[in-house]
Amino acid sequence: MHSHLSCFNAACRARFDIHDILYNCPTCGGLLEAQYDFTGVDAPPLKRTWRERRMDNAPLSQSGVWRYREMFPFLDHLNHVVTLREGNTPLLNAPRAAAYAGLAHVTFKHQGFNPTGSFKDNGMTCGAAQARRLGMKRVACVSTGNTSASMAAYASAGGLDPLIFIPHGNISYGKLAQALEYGAKTFQVEANFDQILALVRVLAERLGIYLLNSINPFRIEGQKSIVIEMMDQRDWRVPDWIVLPGGNLGNVSAFGKGLREMLQVGLIDKLPRLAVVQAHGSSPFYEYMQAKGLTPFRPQGHPETLATAIKIGDPVSWPKAQFEVETSNGVAERATEQEIADAKAVVGQCGIGCEPASAASLAGIRKLTAAGVIDRDADVVAVLTGNVLKDPDYIYRYHTGQLQGPDGTPIQSTFGNKPILVENDADRITELIG
């Protein structure tokens, strides 16, 4: 099937070869996306094929990304694929979280069950495949932690050299540890995410390194599989809402594109509404959407949040995100540090757990339900983007009442669960157990 790269800017739409190493449109500077000719794609046999692959032990069938490869047919040869059996993430019911958020029912799509513990693996397996197909040797990214952990793993598994650039002191140790363990050359740079992205783009150009940030259109192709798998798991029943956290806004762009393409080929019969939730101190997209086109997009120079994964002031994919949120009749929301921390503890109390940025989903739903935007009886899927163990330091501080916001404001440990320090004494412990 024919595939090509296309400029996302509606006024340009320039086309480029799928083998071109491009991150922005050379004509207008716009974002790029992969495009396919889906004519002749028939939904019912495709659904059957995908179900059959679940029973098949072939590595590509076992991957919760490549199982759905007919929806992102950009490779000529599948031998370029590097798979760690990514995807295959569960849909989990969480009555306690639903009650907290003011809903009758909520389902979590937990991307933290991925091989490196975040949704980045869904995209990285495609980005790494494209790097190999192009014959690239070195790959690079700037990251708030999860992209780097994922890229390090996929590059090393696929025989590529990973180079990682992270904002010094601003990523969790769990994520930094993964990058080191998976063998990436890791640079801790004294600058924030947005500044380092500009730096890495210069280095990629100068040194011929393949860039694997979410500006890379093939990452976005892989992340579409999150919503494809979600619909497959729901027997193609479309929810009313899909809610997810927003940082660089690649994921919401991927969800929107994947959903539109599923509608186009008849896999689903309507679009769900997308709600993207940012952290209060790092919410340029929320502010832009609130202004309803009256002001231009304004990056934030000094984004702040303890949810370091989404501490991004100048998200590259905002034009795509705007298009997808508007096309789906969706919304943008934001949540405070306290709201994120409490929502995260509630996800934990469900026996599920997630990292801070992921909890923005539940915190956002709670606000949107209270505001009457989401109905109490709505069918809502909240995406949890990262694993609970990504940031244990945050958890310990919250439960012991030591967590402070970026400006030093104490975060209340509303659902705190302090460990009990006790002497080695059965009677005393019996007394404490009660």
Residues of this chain that interact with ligand F0G (CB under 6 A) are 118, 120, 143-147, 214, 245-251, 309-310, 355, 357-358, 385-386
Instruction: Please report, for residues 150, 314, 413, the alpha-carbon distance to residue 62 in angstroms, rounded to integers and kept in the order given.
Output: 19, 36, 41
Shortest gap between Cβ of 309 and ligand F0G (angstroms)?
Answer: 3
| Choice between 174 and 239, CB closer to ligand F0G | 174
| Choice between 147 and 216, CB closer to ligand F0G | 147
Take residue 108 and report the two structure tokens written for it.
């979590």
| Choice between 41 and 242, CB closer to ligand F0G | 242
Instruction: Label the pairing between strands 15-16 and 3-7.
Output: antiparallel
Shortest gap between Cβ of 346 and ligand F0G (angstroms)?
Answer: 17
Shortest gap between Cβ of 320 and ligand F0G (angstroms)?
Answer: 10
Shortest gap between Cβ of 358 and ligand F0G (angstroms)?
Answer: 5
| Choice between 53 and 89, CB closer to ligand F0G | 89
Cβ burial of 154 (10 Å; 0-12, 13-18, 19+) is buried
| Choice between 63 and 361, CB closer to ligand F0G | 361
Shortest gap between Cβ of 375 and ligand F0G (angstroms)?
Answer: 25
| Choice between 41 and 196, CB closer to ligand F0G | 196
Q: How many CB atoms lie within 10 A of CB 76?
A: 11
Our CA angle for 57, 58, 59, nearest 5°, is 110
Take residue 237 and report the two structure tokens written for it.
């029943």
- Residue 226 contacts residue 262 (beta carbons within 8 Å): no
| Choice between 6 and 172, CB closer to ligand F0G | 172
DSSP conformational letter for 158: T
| Choice between 107 and 143, CB closer to ligand F0G | 143
Burial code (b: 16+ CB inside 10 Å, e: under 16) for 82-118 equals: bbbbbbbbeebebeebbebbbbeebbbbbbbbbbbbb
Shortest gap between Cβ of 167 and ligand F0G (angstroms)?
Answer: 10
Radius of gyration (C-alpha) of the chain in whole angstroms:
21
Shortest gap between Cβ of 386 and ligand F0G (angstroms)?
Answer: 3
Structure-token match 């915190």, residue found: 363
- The dihedral built from the CA positions of residue 20, 23, 28 and 32, taken in this order, carries a sign that is positive
Q: How many CB atoms lie within 10 A of CB 355?
A: 31
| Choice between 162 and 247, CB closer to ligand F0G | 247
Shortest gap between Cβ of 145 and ligand F0G (angstroms)?
Answer: 5
Give the whole-angstrom CA distance, residue 434 versus residue 431.
5
Give the whole-angstrom CA distance, residue 247 versus residue 255.
14
Shortest gap between Cβ of 355 and ligand F0G (angstroms)?
Answer: 5
